[in-house]
Amino acid sequence: MASSLKIAAVFATMNRAATALDCVRALARQTRPPDWVIVADNVSTDETVACLEHLRDLPFELTVRRMPENRGNAGGVMVVMDEAFAQGADAVWILDDDSWPREKALEAMLEGPWDPNMVRHPLQIDPGSGKFTWPLQITDGLGGWKLVWSEAELPEGPRIRSRISWTGALLPRQVRDVVGAVHGDLFIRGEDEDYPWRIEQAGCPQEAIRAAVLDHPGPTDVVHWQFLGKSFFFERGLADWKLYYKVRNMVWLKRRQVGNTRAATVALTYALASCRIDGPNRLWLIGIAIRDGWRGHLGKWEGHP
């Protein structure tokens, strides 16, 4: 029975004490709380660790895993996810520190028969707009997929077949055993595409649970365009280090997914879009990111502040 499963919620954080506390408190308010919450702290220099470790009277066991170095969201989640499964979790709930599940989220994802090969996830809602944090890919009923931006666009039914879900994903042990660990060297802005793609390649389906909702603020200025039949999203004004990881990891992933020719085309298109949207001043940075992604030079960027 799904209700008897052992569930661990995991997320990574760094220097975001109030945000991380809000996430843990949202987990404590769950009508069906997780059994463990394991937080990877990426060498915070503020009061994040102290605030988390001083929480009391929680309905779960809270562990703050102090990382020896900053490994970004990917490396942090990799470590605490591995720890959760080593402790006996039947499934791991993957969160961000700024994603706050509403009270019935976990209970709703555990309702009904449990399929150990199915990855379930809540709807992610941007509290500011009321729309999805990121557009959700769902089945179009014709053997393909379509993007939807709000709950009003969803088909009827409590469960909707979806794909490429990361934040909020409830990952069963059996799926993790097939797919393997998160690729920690992606650091940030890559694990959220790489791991769901690997889940799909392993033949494990994904579904959105209508009654499960996760409040998760989204980007404020996103440009959406289509190229080669695919949708791309560009965030205006990203910090240099965020733009670097976005481009580097995209190039690395596209080479694995679609081969060298299409990966090179996508990289060139992204560079041109960046020049048009944000100006040409950072083409040097995009060039470095494309080079590193093409060579598979991952890990923390030496230019990271």
- Domain endpoint, select from 182, 215, 248: 215
| CA 171 – CA 177 distance, rounded (Å) | 10
Examine the domain organization and report whether 60 and 204 are in the same domain.
yes
For residues 269 and 208, state if they share a domain. no
Buried b (16+ CB within 10 A) or exposed e, 122-157: bbbbbeeeebbbbbbbbeeeeeeeeebeeeeebeee
| The last residue of a domain, from among 192, 215, 238 | 215
pLDDT of residue 230: 66
Same domain, 186 and 227: no
pLDDT at residue number 226: 67
| pLDDT at residue 150 greater than cutoff 80 | yes
Pair 9, 116 in one domain: yes
Task: Tell whether 46 and 177 lie within a shared domain.
Answer: yes
Give the residue carrying structure tokens 């390649």: 201
User: 255-274 burial, b for 16+ CB within 10 Å, e for fewer?
Assistant: beeeeeeebeebbeebbebb
304 falls within a domain: no
Nearest-angstrom CA–CA distance, 67 and 45:
12
Tokens representing 239 are: 């910090």
Evaluate whether 299 touches 185 at the Cβ level (below 8 Å): yes
Residue 302 covered by a domain: no
User: Is 152 found in the same domain as 53?
Assistant: yes
Looking at the 3D structure of the chain, how many domains does it have?
2
Residue 170 pLDDT greater than 80, yes or no: yes
Q: What average pLDDT does the structure give for the chain?
A: 94
Task: Pick the closest to residue 34 from 1, 58, 16, 64 (CA basis).
Answer: 58
Q: Is 212 helix (H, G, I), strand (E, B) or coil?
A: strand
Share of the chain above pLDDT 90, in %: 85
Among 215, 248, 271, the domain-final residue is 215
Residue 128 reports pLDDT greater than 80 = yes
What is the rounded CA–CA span in Å between residue 207 and residue 74?
A: 23
Paired tokens of 123: 């709807």
Q: Are residues 99 and 30 in the same domain?
A: yes
Does the pLDDT value for residue 11 go beyond 90? Answer: yes
Q: Are residues 63 and 136 in the same domain?
A: yes
pLDDT digits (tens, 9 = 90+) for 59-95: 999 999 999 999 999 999 999 999 999 999 999 999 9
Residue 84 sits in which domain range? Answer: 2-215
The conformational region for residue 296 under phi > 0 = left, psi -120 to 50 = alpha, else beta, is left
Which residue matches tokens 């997929």? 145
Residues 261 and 129 occupy one common structural domain: no
Q: Which of 227, 219, 122 is nearest to 170 (CA)?
A: 122
* 12 — pLDDT class (breaks 50, 70, 90): very high
In a shared domain, residues 89 and 165: yes
pLDDT at 211: 97
Q: Where are the alpha helices (DSSP H) in 9-152?
A: 17-28, 48-53, 72-86, 105-109
Q: For 208-249, what is each residue's pLDDT tens digit? A: 999 999 999 988 777 776 665 666 777 888 899 999 999 999
Cα 31 from chain centroid (whole Å)? 23
* DSSP symbols for 164-201: ---TT-EEEHHHHHHH-S--GGG-SSSHHHHHHHHHHH
- Tell me the per-residue pLDDT of 20-33, one tens digit each, with 9 for 90 and over: 999 999 999 999 99
Please say whether the beta carbons of 31 and 61 come within 8 A. Answer: no
Task: Flag whether 303 is in a domain.
Answer: no
Instruction: Give the pLDDT confidence of 42-59 residue by residue, as tens digits.
Output: 999 999 999 999 999 999
Q: Are residues 169 and 108 in the same domain?
A: yes
Output the domain CATH number for residue 179: 3.90.550.10
Q: Could you read off the pLDDT of 245-272 as tens digits, one per residue?
A: 999 999 999 999 999 998 998 898 888 8
